[in-house]
Structure 1
Amino acid sequence: MNRSKMLELLLIEDNECDVELARVAFERCDANCNINVVNDGVEGIRYLKKEGEFESAAKPSIILLDLNMPKMSGASVLEFLKNDEDLRSIPVIIFSTSESKVDIIDSYTNNASCYIVKPFIIRDYISIVNQIISYWLESARLPKTIQAK
């Protein structure tokens, strides 16, 4: 598998344990990603709009988005992203503990690229991250990776 491309991943997640799990899982999977983390939906929007301390932030190749966060929900962030002409093409993976059918249907209705329920066991978490890498970072052709070609 070709893991030579460096991709920008934005993780919008408020739970520090989940952030650490994601970092460890991507590290163990030997992902060639620069992982940027913001801790709530408001900060996620500021990052994506390059406001304040995020003015030089790289545009993400892919976004992992939690649904249940303080200040602004992941659903609101998703709606913002998909209504913004410059950001709507970025694939958004909803990565949530919620197994609610309503959350899943709403996410797809609002154009989420994928919905994954977070596993709680590190082995399963690593397996999911490997699948994310395999599909989204190796198989799929993302807009950011083909712009210059």
Structure 2
Amino acid sequence: MTDRQPLEALLIDPNPEDVRLFLEALENEKITNSINIVSTGAKALDFLHQRGEYTDAVRPNLILMDIELPQMDGQELLEELNGDPELMHIPVIVLTGSDKAEDIVQSYDLHVNAYVQKPVEPDTFLDVVRSLEGFWLEVVRSPPEYEEEDDLL
């Protein structure tokens, strides 16, 4: 589709090695979309609300996040996103090492769009990121941005 908006993604991950692999996967695919990175839930909220060092941040149209975050648990961050009318419509993919059933159930209860367990092997991790990127760039349609609810009618 040629009328696609560029992907503005926010990656929330405290693990520098996973961030490196994520960026490597996108670099190898020559992706021109913007990926912003923060390492904590608190920094994610600052980014999303354009506070502090993130006053010029662009609102993402996709959030990829680990649920195992320092300072603010990922589930708490999801609750914050769901409680904010300006943020609740941004698609969220949980990309995490956790395979705990309660994390999966709780994440879907908090309206994540997908829950993906990070593979241990780097090559498999790269394949997963490429699959997510292809799906979210080429298949999924996000809601258009709007300023008033009347625009939806």
Q: TM-score of the superposition, structure 2-length normalised?
A: 0.88
Match of 1:108 in 2: 108
Comparing 116-125 and 34-43, the one that deviates more? 116-125
Determine if the alignment matches structure 1 residue 45 to structure 2 residue 29: no
Higher radius of gyration, 1 or 2: 2
Amino acid of the structure 1 residue aligned with 2:135: Y
Percent identity, aligned pairs only?
34
C-alpha deviation, 1:5, in angstroms: 4.8
C-alpha deviation, 1:18, in angstroms: 1.0
Match of 1:129 in 2: 129
Distance 1:147 1:45, change over 3 A: closer
Q: Which residues of 2 match residues 62-141 of structure 1 at below 5 A?
A: 62-141=62-141
Q: Output the CA distance in 2 between the equivalents of 1:29 and 1:102.
A: 34
Amino acid of the structure 2 residue aligned with 1:25: A
C-alpha deviation, 1:147, in angstroms: 3.7
Q: Which residues of 2 match residues 134-149 of structure 1 at below 5 A?
A: 134-143=134-143, 146-147=144-145
Amino acid of the structure 2 residue aligned with 1:64: L
Structure 1: gaps of 5 or more residues: none
Q: Output the CA distance in 2 between the equivalents of 1:84 and 1:35.
A: 22
Comparing 111-120 and 126-135, the one that deviates more? 126-135
SS across alignment from 2:85? coil
Q: Output the CA distance in 1 between the equivalents of 2:31 and 2:74.
A: 24
SS across alignment from 1:11? strand
Q: TM-score of the superposition, structure 1-length normalised?
A: 0.90
SS across alignment from 1:126? helix
SS across alignment from 1:105? helix
Q: Output the CA distance in 2 between the equivalents of 1:5 and 1:90.
A: 14
Instruction: Tell me the number of residue pairs that the alignment of Structure 1 and Structure 2 aligns.
Output: 145
Runs of 4+ in 1 over 3 A off after TM superposition: none
SS across alignment from 2:89? coil
SS across alignment from 1:135? helix
Query: Is residue 29–residue 129 contact of structure 1 (8 Å, CA) maintained in 2?
Result: no
List per-residue Cα deviations over 1:33-87 (Å, max 9, x = no partner). 2110001011011111110111110000100111111100111111111111011
